[in-house]
Structure 1
C-alpha cells in the first residue's frame, strides 16, 4: 500500500493538472458512473491529502475521496486522453478550454475507495485520522496523548492511521531505527523527548519522499557512495537501514538485522542499535 508521501505527490499532480479548471469526469468501468456525472463540468478548487487519503474539493463543495488501498493506482497522461483500457474506475480530463500541452488526463484503477463526500462526511473522515506529518495543521500532541496511554507496541502504534496518518511499514521501521527505539516498547514507556524526535524525523523523511518520489532514510555517511557498497535494489526504490534487510548486517554496527511478524506485518530492526527494552516495558 502506498505510504503517505505518495498520496501527497498525487495531490500535487492533480493540482498542477486540474487546479482551477473545469474537468470532464467519466467512469469507463461504470462503477462510479453516478459520482462521475456529478463531477463532470465542475472546477477543482483544491487537491490535498491526509495520510493515505486523497481529497479533491470541487466548486460545489463536494469532495472526492480516494483511498488506493493495496491495488489502486493513478495513471497520468498529457494531451487528449486515448480510449480507456482495463478497469478505469474514474477518468478526469482537462476541460474543453485546455489545448495543446495544457491538456491532460488522469485514470484511476482499482482503488479501495472512490466516493463523493458531503462536508459533514469529510469531517467524520478526518476526525478518525491521526495527525499527518506532512500537513501544516498537524498536531503531534494529539498522537502523543494516545501513545503515552497505550500498552500497545510503538511499532504497532506508528502503523495505526488513527494515531499517526501516513507512515507505513517502511517509514515505521526506519524511523524507529534512526531514533534507536525498540519497536516492541510499549507506547506508554516511550519518553516524551524520544517521541518528539520520532515525529521530527518523520516530518523530514516524508517531506524528502514527497520531493523525490522514493523512500531514502540513510544518512550521508551510510549511502552506497560513502560506504563503497552497491546500491540497494528493491521495488520501493530507496536506500534504507533495516526494511527488508533481515539477515543482512546492519549498515551502522554490523549486527544481523532481525525480523518478526507483528500485527500481520513484517517488522525489521537491529537488536544492537535498537537496544531491547526491559521485559516489563515491552508489549505482549
Structure 2
C-alpha cells in the first residue's frame, strides 16, 4: 500500500499538469460512468493529498476522492511536465532519510536501483511520454499516438489536450461535494507535509498519550496520524528505540513529540526525493549502494533473521494491525 510520500508526489504531478485546465472524464472499464459524467468538462482547481488519500477539486464545487489501496496505480502520458514527483506512484518505491544532507547536493542523480527506479531529479520536461506507475511495472517511452489506448482495467481516465492520467485498481474513487470532503478529511489524522504546525503536533501527541493501544498499532491508524505505512512504522519506531508493543499512554510527552518530528522529517525527504531510505550519515559509497539496493536502505524493514545493524541481535518479524512488523528486541526493548 502506498505511504504518504507517494500520494503527495502523485498530487504534485496533477498540480503541474492539470490545474487550470478543463478535463475530459471517461471510464474505459465502465465502473465509474456516472461519476465521469458528473465531472466531464470541469476545470481542475486544486489537488491535495492527506496521508494516503488524494482529493482533486473541480469547478462547481465538485471533488474526486481517490484512495489507491493495495492495488491502485496511475498511468500518466502525453506532453508531461515531469520532475522528481513522477517517479513514485504507489508506494512501492522508497524513501530517503539523509539527516544533514543537502537535497540539492545528492552524490549522483543518475543512480538507478535494481528495480530501474530513479526519482532523485527531473526525468525531463516537457516530453511526450507514457509513464506507468504500478506495483510491477514502470515504463517511460515515446508515444506515437495520443491519447494512448487504455492499459488494463482503467477505472477513470482524466484527459486534457496534452496530458492523460489513467487510474487502475483503486480502493476508493468517488465524487464528493464540499461538505462530504470536509467529513472525509476530518476522519484523518494530521499530516505533517500538509500541516506541521504546533497545533498538528499537539493533536498527534495528545491522542497517542491517552491511548492504551500499542504504539505499533496507533501509527498505522490513519485517524491518529496520516500517511504512515508498514515501512515508515518499522523504521520510525527503531529510530526512536521504542518497543512497538508499548501502550501509547506509557510514552513520555518528549518521546511522542520527537516521533512526530521525525515523521515530518522522513516524510518531507520522501516527498522531495521519492526514496524511503531511512539510513543516516551514509558516505558516498554506501549512499550509492543503498540507492541501487533497497536492502541497504533500512534499519529493520524486511530484515527478519538478519543481525541488527546496531547491536547484532536478530531482527524479528510478527503480525500487528494485520501487517508484518519488523523490530529489534534489544534496541527496542
User: What TM-score, normalized to structure 1?
Assistant: 0.88
| 1:159 alignment partner, SS class | coil
CA offsets, 1:52-82, max 9 Å, x none? 1110001111110000111111011124211
The yes-or-no answer on 1:117 pairing with 2:183 is: no
Question: How much does 1:18 deviate?
Answer: 0.3
The yes-or-no answer on 1:84 pairing with 2:145 is: no
**Contact 1:217–1:239 (CA under 8 A) maintained in structure 2:** yes
Residues paired across the two proteins, number = 265
Q: Work out which structure has the larger RCO, using CA pairs closer than 8 Å and 6 or more positions apart in sequence.
A: 2
Q: How does 1:10-25 map to 2 (within 5 A)?
A: 10-25=10-25
Question: How much does 1:232 deviate?
Answer: 7.1
CA offsets, 1:112-132, max 9 Å, x none? 110000111111101111101
| 1:20 alignment partner, SS class | coil
- Name the CA shift for 1:228/1:105 in 2 (closer, same or farther; >3 Å): closer
Distance 2:166 2:156 in 1: 6
**Contact 2:304–2:315 (CA under 8 A) maintained in structure 1:** yes
Question: How much does 1:271 deviate?
Answer: 1.9
| 1:255 alignment partner, SS class | coil
Question: How much does 1:226 deviate?
Answer: 4.3
- Name the CA shift for 1:252/1:232 in 2 (closer, same or farther; >3 Å): farther
CA offsets, 1:90-127, max 9 Å, x none? 101114xxxxxxx1110000101100001111111011
| 2:303 alignment partner, SS class | coil
The yes-or-no answer on 1:208 pairing with 2:269 is: yes
Distance 1:216 1:167 in 2: 15
Question: How much does 1:147 deviate?
Answer: 1.1
Q: Give unpaired runs (5+ residues) of structure 2.
A: 80-145
Question: How much does 1:137 deviate?
Answer: 6.0
Question: How much does 1:208 deviate?
Answer: 1.0
Distance 1:228 1:55 in 2: 35
The yes-or-no answer on 1:256 pairing with 2:322 is: no
**Contact 1:214–1:238 (CA under 8 A) maintained in structure 2:** no
Displaced runs of 4 or more, over 6 A: 227-232
Distance 1:64 1:48 in 2: 11
- Name the CA shift for 1:30/1:229 in 2 (closer, same or farther; >3 Å): closer
Question: How much does 1:27 deviate?
Answer: 0.7
Distance 2:156 2:309 in 1: 44
The yes-or-no answer on 1:266 pairing with 2:324 is: yes
- Name the CA shift for 1:229/1:51 in 2 (closer, same or farther; >3 Å): closer
The yes-or-no answer on 1:195 pairing with 2:256 is: yes
Q: How does 1:22-171 map to 2 (within 5 A)?
A: 22-79=22-79, 80-95=146-161, 103-136=162-195, 139-171=200-232
Q: Determine which of 175, 180, 185 is the counterpart of 2:241.
A: 180
User: What TM-score, normalized to structure 2?
Assistant: 0.75
Distance 1:51 1:152 in 2: 21
